[in-house]
Chains A and B, each alone.
Chain A
Amino acid sequence: MGSILKIENLSKQYRLGLVGTGTLRDDLKRWWYNILGKEDPFLKIGESNDQTIRGESNYVWALKDINFEVEQGEVLGVIGKNGAGKSTLLKILSRVTSPTIGVVKSKGRIASLLEVGTGFHPEMTGRENIYLNGAILGMTKAEIRGKEQEIIAFSGCERYIDTPVKRYSSGMRVRLAFAVAAHLEPDVLVVDEVLAVGDAEFQKKAIGKMKDISKGEGRTVLFVSHNMAAVKSICSKALVLENGQKVFDGGTDEAVTYYLKGNNNQLNSSSFQTEFDTELYCLRSIEVKNDNKVVGEPIVEDKEIVISTDIEIKSSRPERYHITYHLRSETGEPLFSISHRRSGLLLKKGDNKIHCVFPKSFLQPGQFFLSIYLIEDRRQAIFIEKDIANFLVVNGARELGVFMGREPGFIRPQFEWYEG
C-alpha cells in the first residue's frame, strides 16, 4: 500500500520575545541576505526548544529534523510533554503554517480536528452551524446535506438543533462539533485532544468512531493526546517528541513506556549511605514499583503496587519500633497513613526488608508523595523523612469503550457489596 504521508527533515523555527524594532532589524538583515542570494543567516542559529533553561539565542527550533512516514489505514499516536512540538507538527500538517525547512508530502486530503467547534457562531442555530463548520472543514454543501441527519443523531442534540448554539451547554457544543468533524471524509484525519472533553458516554462514542474511521473505512488517523489510556487503546504505532525532536518511533506500548520513563522528576527509589545512619537504626533504601517489575518502569494503576523499605535496626529491643507511611496526593493533601505494626510483623535486629502491597486499581493515576516515620513505643516518631519518594501512577490499557478520563479522588478502594 505504501505510505500516504511522508515527512522529511521537517523543522520549524520560532523567534522568542516581542515583535518590535529587534524583529525589524532581523527582518531587514534576512531580506538583505536574500537579495544577495545568500542563505538565511538565522537558520544557522537557534537552539533546541528546552523551555526550562534560559538560552543564548532568541531563535528556537520548535521542531527539528522530523522524519517519519504514515501508512494508509494506520492510527499513529503522537505523544510528548507540553511544548514538545506536537501542536506545531499538527499545525504544519494541517497547513495552518509552513515549515521553516523540510517537506510534507501527502497522497490524500488532510483534515484536522485541532480544536472542535472552530468557527461555530454562537448566534446561529445548531443546524446552521453544522453547515458552516462542515464547510470550514472542507465539505461541500451537498456532502453535508447528505449526512445532516446522521450528524444530528450522532451529536445527540436533536431537540436543540434549531436553537442558537449560544444556548447550548458546553458539552453539547463539543458533541455537535465532534459529530460534524467525525463525518468528514478526509484521507488523513488529524486529531488533537478531543477526548479531554465530554462525558464517559461521549468518549466511548468518539473513540469508537475513530476506530471505525481507521479500521472500517481504511483511513489514516494521527492522534495527539496526553491520555495514555486512549493512545494505548486506539493507536497501532506511536512516536514520541521531546524538545522538538523525535526521540522514539515504534509500537504504542513501547512508546508510552519510553515517554513515561522520560518523566524524571519522580523518585521511585532512593538508596542511602550514611544519611539516615544512627545508633538505633540505619535506613538503606526505599522503592516503589509494580509487582514483578523493576524500578524505573512506569507504575500502572491496574497492577499491584509494592512499597519496599530496607532498614537495619541496631537497637537490642527491635520490637519497640515500627514503620508508618504517610501518603499525600499530588496537590499535597494527606490521603492516609498505614502502619507496619497492624500487620503483626515485627522488626528484628539486623536487616529488615518490609514490603507493603497496594491491591491493583487501588491508587488512581496521578502523582503521590510518600513520607516515612519510624515510631518508638507506639508513642513518638524518632525518625521522620517527608516526601522521601514520589511516584507517578499511570493509566493501564483499558477496554475500549469505558471511561478514559479520570475519576474523582485519589484512591479507589474495593469494598464488599451485597444484596438484600
Chain B
Amino acid sequence: MSKHEHWLYTISSEHKWFDLNLRETWRYRDLLLLFVRRDIVTAYKQTILGPLWFLVQPLFTSLVFTLVFNNLGQIQTDGVPPFLFNLAGITAWTYFKECLTNTSNTFRANQNIFGKVYFPRVIVPLSKVVANLFKFGIQLFIFILFYLFFVYHGYELSPSLNLLLMPLYLFLMASLGLGLGMIITAMTTKYRDLTVLVGFATSLLMYLSAVPYPLSEARLKFPEWLIPFVEFNPLSQMIEGFRYMLLGEGSFSLWALMYTCGISLVIFLMGLLLFNRTEKRFIDTV
C-alpha cells in the first residue's frame, strides 16, 4: 500500500471542537424537509379539526392571562387591548418555548434511530425549529384576525415599518431556543438531572420574560433586585420588541436589539459545539 492513499473519511476517537461538518449537513437538507413534513403532518392525523388545534392553547392562555393579570391584577398595557397584548406575547413566547422543549430532548427521544443509522444529528433539532415556524404562522394568522377585529371596533393601533424586523426576531428566538435546547440535550445524555428542571424552569422563565406584563410595569412594580433579571433577560427584550413591532407599545432600543443578538448567537454557537461533541458517543451513555 502506498503511503499517500486517499481516504474519503476516517472514524476515530479524536474529535476537534470546531469540526462542524457543515458540508455533510447540507447534503442531508432533503432529510430536514422530510422531518419537518413528518412533524407537521403526523401531529394531528386522525383529528377532525387538524391544525386548528394549534389555536386552542394561545387563545385560552391569553384569555386566562387577561382575566387574571389585567382584570384582577390591574396590569397596565399602555392603551393596548389586554387580550391583544397577551396574545402577541404568548404567540412569541410559544414559539421560543416550543423550540426549546422540542429540541431539549433530541438525544433521548431519538436514541432508537440514532442508535441504528448515521446522519448529521443536528438535522433533528433544526427540523423542529422549522416545523414550529409553521405552527407560529397559524398562530400569527389568528392574531391578525383579532387585530383586525379590534381595529374594526375602533381601537387605534398603528403597526409600523418595524414589522420588517419580524424575520430577525423569529431568527433570534429560534437560535436562542435551539441553542439552549441543544445545550440541555447534550448535557442530559449521561446525567439526567437537568431534565427534571426543564419543564418547571421554562414555565418560571415565562414570568421573568415580560410575557404577561410590559417592561415598563416591571420597572415600576418589581422589587429592586428583580428588575435586572427581567431587563437583562434576552427573552424579555425579544418579547417586548415583538410586541412593539406588532402593536406599537412598549420600548424599543437598538442597544437592546444588539444585546439580544449577541447573547442569542453566543448561546446558539455554544449549543452547536456541545451538541456536535456529544453526538459522537452519546449512544453509549444515554
> Could you tell me which A residues sit within 8 Å of B by CB distance?
2-3, 6, 14, 19, 23-24, 27, 91-109, 112, 114-115, 118-119, 121, 123-124, 128, 131-132, 135-141, 164
Q: A112-B116, A136-B119 are in contact. Are A98 and B280 (CB under 8 A)?
A: yes
Q: A97-B284, A99-B13, A106-B8 are in contact. Are A135 and B28 (CB under 8 A)?
A: yes
A56 to B38 Cα, complex, angstroms: 48
From A91, A109, A114, A115, B8 is in contact (CB under 8 Å) with: A109
Q: A19-B285, A114-B116, A119-B117 are in contact. Are A135 and B13 (CB under 8 A)?
A: no
From B5, B34, B46, B280, A97 is in contact (CB under 8 Å) with: B280
- Does B7 touch A at the CB level, under 8 Å? yes
> Do residues B11 and A96 form an inter-chain contact, with CB atoms below 8 A?
no
From A91, A94, A104, B10 is in contact (CB under 8 Å) with: A104
> Do residues B116 and A115 form an inter-chain contact, with CB atoms below 8 A?
yes
Interface residues as binary, B263-286 with A (CB distance below 8 Å gives 1, 0 otherwise): 000000000000000001101110
Q: A106-B9, A124-B41, A135-B28 are in contact. Are A98 and B116 (CB under 8 A)?
A: no
Interface residues as binary, B70-106 with A (CB distance below 8 Å gives 1, 0 otherwise): 0000000000000000000000000000000000000
Closest partner residue, chain A, to B42 (CB atom): A123
Chain B nearest CB, measured from A220 CB (Å): 13
Q: A97-B283, A118-B116, A136-B119 are in contact. Are A141 and B30 (CB under 8 A)?
A: yes
Enumerate chain B residues within 8 angstroms of A137, measured Cβ to Cβ.
117
Q: A101-B13, A123-B42 are in contact. Are A96 and B114 (CB under 8 A)?
A: yes
> Do residues A96 and B118 form an inter-chain contact, with CB atoms below 8 A?
yes
Interface residues as binary, B32-73 with A (CB distance below 8 Å gives 1, 0 otherwise): 011100100110011000000000000000000000000000
Known: A97-B280, A99-B12, A136-B113. 20 other contacts (CB 8 A): A3-B1, A14-B284, A19-B285, A23-B190, A96-B116, A98-B12, A105-B7, A106-B11, A107-B5, A115-B116, A118-B113, A119-B113, A121-B38, A128-B41, A135-B34, A136-B31, A138-B28, A138-B119, A139-B30, A140-B30
Enumerate 18 A-B pairs (CB-CB under 8 Å) in ascending A order.
Answer: A6-B7, A23-B190, A94-B118, A95-B11, A96-B115, A96-B283, A97-B280, A98-B11, A98-B13, A98-B281, A102-B13, A103-B11, A104-B10, A106-B7, A118-B116, A118-B117, A124-B41, A141-B33
Enumerate chain A residues within 8 angstroms of B13, measured Cβ to Cβ.
98-102
Interface residues as binary, B247-270 with A (CB distance below 8 Å gives 1, 0 otherwise): 000000000000000000000000
A114 to B118 Cα, complex, angstroms: 11
- Does B6 touch A at the CB level, under 8 Å? yes
> Do residues A108 and B115 form an inter-chain contact, with CB atoms below 8 A?
no
Enumerate chain B residues within 8 angstroms of A118, measured Cβ to Cβ.
112-113, 116-117
Enumerate chain A residues within 8 angstroms of B11, measured Cβ to Cβ.
92-93, 95, 98-99, 103-104, 106
A109 to B6 Cα, complex, angstroms: 13
Closest partner residue, chain A, to B9 (CB atom): A106
Enumerate chain A residues within 8 angstroms of B42, measured Cβ to Cβ.
121, 123-124
Count residues on chain B whose CB falls below 8 Å from chain A CBs.
38
Interface residues as binary, B147-190 with A (CB distance below 8 Å gives 1, 0 otherwise): 00000000000000000000000000000000000000000001
A294 to B203 Cα, complex, angstroms: 74
Chain B nearest CB, measured from A226 CB (Å): 19
Enumerate chain B residues within 8 angstroms of A136, measured Cβ to Cβ.
31, 113, 117, 119
- Does B4 touch A at the CB level, under 8 Å? no
A141 to B34 Cα, complex, angstroms: 9
From B15, B45, B283, A91 is in contact (CB under 8 Å) with: B283
A14 to B119 Cα, complex, angstroms: 23
> Do residues A102 and B12 form an inter-chain contact, with CB atoms below 8 A?
yes
Q: A96-B117, A118-B117, A119-B117 are in contact. Are A19 and B1 (CB under 8 A)?
A: no
> Do residues B38 and A103 form an inter-chain contact, with CB atoms below 8 A?
no
- Does B191 touch A at the CB level, under 8 Å? yes
Closest partner residue, chain A, to B114 (CB atom): A96
Top 4 A-B pairs ranked by shortest CB distance?
A95-B118, A135-B31, A104-B11, A141-B30
Closest partner residue, chain A, to B33 (CB atom): A141
From B10, B28, B31, A103 is in contact (CB under 8 Å) with: B10
> Do residues B285 and A112 form an inter-chain contact, with CB atoms below 8 A?
no
Enumerate chain B residues within 8 angstroms of A138, measured Cβ to Cβ.
28, 119
Chain A nearest CB, measured from B61 CB (Å): 28
Enumerate chain B residues within 8 angstroms of A19, measured Cβ to Cβ.
190-191, 285
From B15, B30, B191, A98 is in contact (CB under 8 Å) with: B15
Enumerate chain A residues within 8 angstroms of B118, measured Cβ to Cβ.
94-96, 112
Chain B nearest CB, measured from A89 CB (Å): 11
Closest partner residue, chain B, to A142 (CB atom): B30
A136 to B12 Cα, complex, angstroms: 23
Which of B31, B115, B285 counts the most A-chain CB atoms under 10 A from its CB?
B31
A41 to B31 Cα, complex, angstroms: 40
Closest partner residue, chain A, to B10 (CB atom): A105
Chain B nearest CB, measured from A284 CB (Å): 54
Chain A nearest CB, measured from B44 CB (Å): 10
A14 to B284 Cα, complex, angstroms: 8
A342 to B185 Cα, complex, angstroms: 73
Chain A nearest CB, measured from B198 CB (Å): 19
Chain A nearest CB, measured from B136 CB (Å): 23
